Structure 1
Amino acid sequence: MAALNVCFCSKLPPFSSPTKPLPLRRNSPSQFETVAPSSLLRYSAPQGAQIRSSLSSLCESISKASVLALLSASIVFASDPALAFKGGGPYGAGVTRGQDLTGKDFSGKTLIKQDFKTSILRQANFKGAKLLGASFFDADLTGADLSDTDLRGADFSLANVTKVNLSNANLEGALATGNTSFKGSIITGADFTDVPLRDDQRVYLCKVADGVNPVTGNETRETLLCK
Structure 2
Amino acid sequence: MALFLNASLSSTSKPHHRLSFSTTSATPLPPFLRTNPKQTLQPSPKLTLSLIESVSSATLVALLSASLVFVHPALAFKGGGPYGQGVTRGQDLSGKDFSGKTLIKQDFKTSILRQANFKGAKLLGASFFDADLTGADFSDADLRSADFSLANVTKVNLSNANLEGALVTGNTSFKGSDITGADFTDVPLREDQREYLCKIADGVNSTTGNATRDTLLCN
- Contact 2:102–2:123 (CA under 8 A) maintained in structure 1: yes
Alignment of 1:167-186 (within 5 A): 167-186=159-178
Query: Distance between the aligned counterparts of 2:84 and 2:114, measured in 1?
Result: 20
**Superposed counterparts of 1:65-80, under 5 Å:** none
One-letter amino acid matched to 1:153: S
Normalised to the residue count of structure 2, the TM-score between the two structures is 0.62
Query: For residue 68 of structure 1, what is the aligned residue in structure 2?
Result: none
Q: For the residues of structure 2 that align with 1:168 and 1:137, how far apart are their CA atoms?
A: 22
Partner of 2:114 in structure 1? 122
Give me the whole-angstrom Cα distance separating, in 1, the residues matched to 2:82 and 2:136.
21
Do 2:164 and 2:183's aligned partners in 1 also have CA atoms closer than 8 Å?
Answer: yes
Determine the structure 2 residue equivalent to 1:10.
none
1:155 match: 147
> CA–CA distance in 2 between the matches of 1:202 and 1:86?
32
Which whole-Å deviations, capped at 9, do the CAs of 1:125-175 have from their partners, x for residues lacking one? Answer: 000000000000000000000000000000000000000000000000000
Structure 2 partner of 1:101: 93
| Identity percentage of aligned residues | 86
What letter corresponds to residue 147 of structure 1 in structure 2? S
Paired residue for 2:202?
Answer: 210
Structure 2 unaligned blocks of 5 or more:
1-80
Question: Which of the numbers 158, 163, 171 marks the counterpart of 1:166?
Answer: 158
| 2:132 alignment counterpart | 140
What's the CA shift string for 1:174-225, capped at 9, x where partnerless? 0000000000000000000000011111000000000000000000000000
How many equivalent residue pairs?
A: 140
Find the partner of 2:84 among 86, 102, 124: 86
Uncovered stretches (5+) of structure 1, i.e. residues with no partner: 1-82
Alpha-carbon distance change, 219 to 207 in structure 1, aligned in 2, over 3 angstroms: same
Give the drift of 1:85: 6.8
TM-score, normalised to structure 1, is 0.60
Matched, 1:224 2:216: yes
**Secondary structure in 2 matching 1:141:** coil
Distance in 1 (alpha carbons) for counterparts of 2:82 and 2:117: 16
Provide the aligned C-alpha RMSD in A: 1.6
Matched residue type, 2:187: V
Residue number among 191, 194, 197 corresponding to 2:186 in the alignment: 194
In structure 1, C-alpha distance between the alignment counterparts of 2:89 and 2:83, rounded to whole Å: 11
Contact 2:82 2:106 in 1 (8 A): no
C-alpha displacement at 1:86, in angstroms? 2.2
